[in-house]
């Protein structure tokens, strides 16, 4: 069980989505945008940092479950100035998460769309629709918030796959024995899983 915070960084609007993962089940907790309605870039970065900090601290305060964070990676935009601003916004979000001692995973936009839509070149409307289906939402979140939720869903799928891989490795690893074509855990394996 874990809480996953997904961040879609932007210099004017940073989307976030928070979900709860329990095994294969994903449940919506929160989503929204941090708006930075100002011309000055340092002030925008401060608002992103403070917004991410406030949201994360709220969930840390009211949950005993571990919190994981996922952030969309910067793509190379045609406009270098836009790419630089996006990178700074992303840095402010990552700094806020790391300052709260969270480990941050990073995913490309293609990885996120592939995990949510099954197609790495899906558009924003497709991402919104699939986020609603996966999380069983009655109301469609704003695009940046949906992108934050999609990032969290991508991390959930990725971490769940890694857990299955680790479990299979443990089952076939040291101390396991094969009897009649089946793997069985030894007491040592079971102790290692606790």
Tell me the CA end-to-end span of the chain in Å, nearest whole number: 14
Active-site position among 24, 30, 65, 72: 72
Q: 60: buried, middle or exposed (CB in 10 Å: 19+, 13-18, 0-12)?
A: middle
Question: Could you tell me whether strands 177-179 and 104-107 are parallel, antiparallel, or unpaired per DSSP bridges?
Answer: unpaired
**Among candidates 113, 114, 107, 67, which has minimal Cα distance to 90?**
107
> Is 101 known as a binding-site position?
no
Q: For the chain, how many helices (H) and strands (E)? A: 6, 7
Q: Active site includes 189?
A: no
Q: Active site includes 8?
A: yes
> Is 129 known as a binding-site position?
no
Active-site position among 37, 65, 144, 147: 144
Handedness of CA 46, 73, 122, 76 (dihedral sign): positive
> Is 72 known as a binding-site position?
yes
Question: Could you tell me whether strands 182-184 and 177-179 are parallel, antiparallel, or unpaired per DSSP bridges?
Answer: antiparallel
Active-site residue list: 8, 72, 144
The annotation places the binding site for Mg(2+) at 8, 72, 144
- Annotated binding residues, as ranges? 8, 72, 144
């Amino acid at each position: 069980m874990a809480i996953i915070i997904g961040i879609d960084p932007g210099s004017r609007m940073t989307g976030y989505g928070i979900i709860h993962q329990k095994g294969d089940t994903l449940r919506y907790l929160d989503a929204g945008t941090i708006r930075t309605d100002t011309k000055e870039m340092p002030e925008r970065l401060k608002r992103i940092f403070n917004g991410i900090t406030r949201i994360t601290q709220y969930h840390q305060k009211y949950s005993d479950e571990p919190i994981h964070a996922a952030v969309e990676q910067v793509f190379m935009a045609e406009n270098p100035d836009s790419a630089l601003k996006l990178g700074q916004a992303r840095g402010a979000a990552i700094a806020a998460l790391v300052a709260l001692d969270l480990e941050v995973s990073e995913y490309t936009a293609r990885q996120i769309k592939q995990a949510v839509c099954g197609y790495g070149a899906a558009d924003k409307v497709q991402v919104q629709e699939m986020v609603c289906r996966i999380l069983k939402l009655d109301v469609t979140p704003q695009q940046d918030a949906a992108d934050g939720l999609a990032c969290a869903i991508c991390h959930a799928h990725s971490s769940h796959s890694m857990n299955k891989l680790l479990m299979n490795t443990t089952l076939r690893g040291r101390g396991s024995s094969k009897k009649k074509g089946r793997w069985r855990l030894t007491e040592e394996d079971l102790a290692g899983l606790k």
